[in-house]
């Protein structure tokens, strides 16, 4: 079924800047088939549905390059703390979660994403040291039902949490250190066999809406053997590798004091740093590390709000871009940043892009951040034919209502979207040409039923939270000591000034 967006206010990119052009847009076979007068003449031939769009801003859907859908069930439970302390609280209810809970979290997250203008994203799914296959299957099923473009990276690690900490011999009491139990070759084989079953069943399914990525969750918690096998498997099948990188100050010190050396060099020497690699956070890279990431064509993913909430600092994105790095945008999960709305993240990225640099001509503006969140994000997900409004591109499009206050008066729609669009009304969303949000609600999902089930699951998590806190209490003072020393060693400055 073809659709004509008649007289739409289209956000198109010209010479690095976005501008609004009033024109018709014909959507057919999942793509933007024609624009302008040509679209109108093609309509009769294709029998398209006509949508009057003169009062709609049509923007390529955002691509959210970092997040954890399961955290949508934990919204509001875990208070802010430095990353390594916060991790003690955020992951330890996992044993209670069923595959059905993962399904519900994936639907809940998809509702929020689609209704705030995101059409594509990656979920680094953390369900234990190695992935839970049933949870991954249920997650894929939810994305398929919601109609969103989703890449699932089932996460894994094989080194212990305490073993990675700096100064562990000095600051972590011996009885609290958990040494790594080495994995056997058979266990690694089983991990990649699991990933392969998921790949065969889901990768490329539903008109290429669903994809599998490989998720070594953090380089410092993955052995060389595991990363080499990751790189080999991802290369063989052309899959994205997605990982966290240098999010906190403590990770800089882990790299300096631990077995890895530079995490970026570690990823590179194991074969994990390439054009299909996306690196979430990247707050604390040195100049040489940015250069290596840039040389390899890997993607840095800016997550400004999650970084601020956990006190990680501000990634110097303007400098990364000036160095030639490829940068996309993400939110992280709801436990760290409260929302998976990219509009909040765009606003934060745009205003934080002014911090740290004396030269105002290097500040980020609405054009820069919109590009990171659309065209760059789609490219990082390996959809180079998405994230733009041009003929032939995938029709992943969001229609905002221009009659509501974020756009009244209408002076500069792109600036108003980026700096004040967090309450903008999303009227319609198309993914691969299919209408998946109409009148602000999902067409394929009963939102109320999802909310009801999410509330039931959250009650289970809230009831268990005192147990989580009790388990964390033992290790908490020791991690606090390490965290404090990391702050004092690197410095409390909010912006990475390592270079």
- Tell me which residues touch Zn ion (CB under 5 A): 332
Q: Taking the complex as a whole, how short is the minimal distance between the CB of residue 363 and Zn ion, in angstroms?
A: 27
Size of the chain, expressed as the number of residues it contains? 499
CB of 68 to Zn ion, least distance (A): 6
Six token digits for residue 458 = 């959250």
Tell me the closest approach of the beta carbon of residue 307 to Zn ion, in angstroms.
10
Q: Which is nearer to Zn ion, 158 or 312 (CB)?
A: 312
Is residue 393 a contact partner of residue 407, using CB atoms and an 8 Å limit? no
**How far apart are alpha carbons 371 and 265 in whole angstroms?**
28
Query: With contact defined as beta carbons under 8 Å apart, do 314 and 352 qualify?
Result: yes
Minimum gap (Å) between residue 66 Cβ and Zn ion: 6
Using CA of residue 499, residue 316, residue 305, residue 278, what is the dihedral sign? negative
Q: How far from the centroid of its chain's Cα atoms is residue 405's Cα?
A: 28
Q: Which residue has the tokens 């034919």?
A: 385
**From the CB of 309, what's the least distance to Zn ion, in Å?**
12
CB nearer to Zn ion: pick between 279 and 426: 279
Closer residue to Zn ion (CB): 223 or 248: 248
Residue 129 or 332 with smaller CB distance to Zn ion: 332
How far apart CA 87 and CA 66 sit, in angstroms, is 17
Quote the CA–CA distance of 63 and 489 in Å, as a whole number: 36
Taking the least distance from each CB to Zn ion, the nearer of 168 and 303 is 303
| Residue 159 backbone dihedrals phi, psi, to 5 degrees | -115, 150
Give the shortest CB-218-to-Zn ion separation in angstroms. 9
Q: Which is nearer to Zn ion, 268 or 332 (CB)?
A: 332
* Least spacing, CB of residue 113 vs Zn ion, in Å: 15
Largest distance between two CA atoms of the chain: 76
CB-wise, 242 or 428, nearer to Zn ion? Answer: 242
Residue number, nearest CB to Zn ion: 332
| Closer residue to Zn ion in complex, CB, 3/110 | 110
Rounded CA gap, 363 and 235, in Å?
37
Torsion (CA) 262, 267, 268, 270 in degrees, nearest 10 = 120
Nearer to Zn ion, 23 or 151 (CB): 151
Min separation Cβ 217 and Zn ion, Å: 8
Interatomic CA distance for residues 303 and 300, integer angstroms:
10
Could you tell me the two tokens for 372? 């990171």
Q: Which of 310, 289, 216, 220 is nearest to 257 (CA)?
A: 220
Closest CA to 474 of 162, 170, 163, 220: 162
Which residue bears the tokens 């004092």? 488
CB of 336 to Zn ion, least distance (A): 7
Angle at 258 between CA 213 and CA 260, to 5 degrees: 40
Cβ-contact 57, 111 below 8 angstroms: no
């Amino acid at each position: 079924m073809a659709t004509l967006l008649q007289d739409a206010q289209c956000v198109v990119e010209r010479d690095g800047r976005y501008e609004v052009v009033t024109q018709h847009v014909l959507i057919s076979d999942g793509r933007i088939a024609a624009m302008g007068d040509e679209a109108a003449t093609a309509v009769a031939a294709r029998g398209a549905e006509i949508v009057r769009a003169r009062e709609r801003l049509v923007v390529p859907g955002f691509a959210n390059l970092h997040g954890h859908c399961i955290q949508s069930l934990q919204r509001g439970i875990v208070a802010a703390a430095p990353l390594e302390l916060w991790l003690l609280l955020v992951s330890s209810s996992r044993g209670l979660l069923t595959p059905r809970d993962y399904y519900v979290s994936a639907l809940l997250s998809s509702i929020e994403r689609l209704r705030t203008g995101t059409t594509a994203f990656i979920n680094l799914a953390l369900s234990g040291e190695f992935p839970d296959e049933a949870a991954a299957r249920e997650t894929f099923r939810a994305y398929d039902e919601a109609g969103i473009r989703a890449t699932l990276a089932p996460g894994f690690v094989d080194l212990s949490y305490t073993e990675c900490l700096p100064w562990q011999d000095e600051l972590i009491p011996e009885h609290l250190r958990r040494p790594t139990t080495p994995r056997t070759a058979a266990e690694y084989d089983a991990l990649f066999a699991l990933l392969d079953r998921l790949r065969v069943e889901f990768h490329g399914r539903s008109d290429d809406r669903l994809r599998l990525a490989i998720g070594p969750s953090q380089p410092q918690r993955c052995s060389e053997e595991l990363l080499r096998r990751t790189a080999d498997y991802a290369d063989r099948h052309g899959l994205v590798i997605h990982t966290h990188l240098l999010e906190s100050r403590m990770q800089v010190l882990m790299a300096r004091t631990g077995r890895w050396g530079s995490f970026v060099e570690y990823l590179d020497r194991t074969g994990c740093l390439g054009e299909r690699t996306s690196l979430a956070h990247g707050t604390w890279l040195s100049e040489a590390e940015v250069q290596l990431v840039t040389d390899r064509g890997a993607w840095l993913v800016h997550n400004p709000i999650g970084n601020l909430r956990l006190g990680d600092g501000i990634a110097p994105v303007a400098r990364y871009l000036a160095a030639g790095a490829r940068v996309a945008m993400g939110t992280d999960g709801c436990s760290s940043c409260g929302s998976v709305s990219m509009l909040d993240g765009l606003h934060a990225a745009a205003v934080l892009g002014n911090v740290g640099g004396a030269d105002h001509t290097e500040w980020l503006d609405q054009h820069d951040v919109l590009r990171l969140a659309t065209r760059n994000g789609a490219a990082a997900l390996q959809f180079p034919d998405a994230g733009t409004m041009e003929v032939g591109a995938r029709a992943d499009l969001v229609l905002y209502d221009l009659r509501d206050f974020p756009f009244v008066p209408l002076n500069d729609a792109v600036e108003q979207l980026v700096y004040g669009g967090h309450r903008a009304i999303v009227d319609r969303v198309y993914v691969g040409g299919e209408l998946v949000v109409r009148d602000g609600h999902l067409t394929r999902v009963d939102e109320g039923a999802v909310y009801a089930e999410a509330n039931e699951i959250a009650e289970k998590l809230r009831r268990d939270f005192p147990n989580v806190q009790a388990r964390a209490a033992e290790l908490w003072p020791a991690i606090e000591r390490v965290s404090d020393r990391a702050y004092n060693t690197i410095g409390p400055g909010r912006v990475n000034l390592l270079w």
